[in-house]
Amino acid sequence: MVNDSVERVLEHYRWLYVARLGKPPRRRDLDPVLARTLIRLCGDAETAIGILDIWFESPDPWYERHGFALDHCFSAINRLVGTGEIQPTGPPAVRDAVRRFAALLIERHLRLVR
């Protein structure tokens, strides 16, 4: 069943990529580990597919500049949360904290201190 979910997510990703960019994704973008991680992060394959739909349909030019490689989906999710295109789940305090953190990452207010 897990493999079916992974394959369904990868097939949907492939379809979205071709529809948006007019060419197939790179072979390494069809990585089952990335798809499995996305499903785990989203909770299930249907939610992961919904997130992919929102990502590929977003008019934000940032995605055009950075591309639609599957390994970019995790930073794209952060950006989608930060811009309010998707809403985090959990208790209200957690949702608010996630939104504020995602927005800070987009605005580049954080810097790494070593």
Q: What is the pLDDT of residue 76?
A: 85
Q: Residue-wise over 38-47: b if at least 16 C-beta within 10 A, else e? A: bbeebeebee
Q: What is the pLDDT of residue 6?
A: 96
- How is residue 78 written in tokens? 């952060």
Q: Who has greater pLDDT, 87 or 7?
A: 7
Q: Who has greater pLDDT, 13 or 3?
A: 13
* Average per-residue pLDDT for the chain: 83
- pTM for the model stands at 0.79
Q: What is the pLDDT of residue 4?
A: 92
CB distance 95 to 88 below 8 Å: yes
CB distance 14 to 24 below 8 Å: yes
Encode pLDDT of 14-33 as tens digits.
Answer: 999 999 999 999 999 999 99
Encode pLDDT of 79-104 as tens digits.
Answer: 887 777 777 777 777 767 766 766 66
Q: What is the pLDDT of residue 106?
A: 63
How large a percentage of the chain has pLDDT more than 70? 81
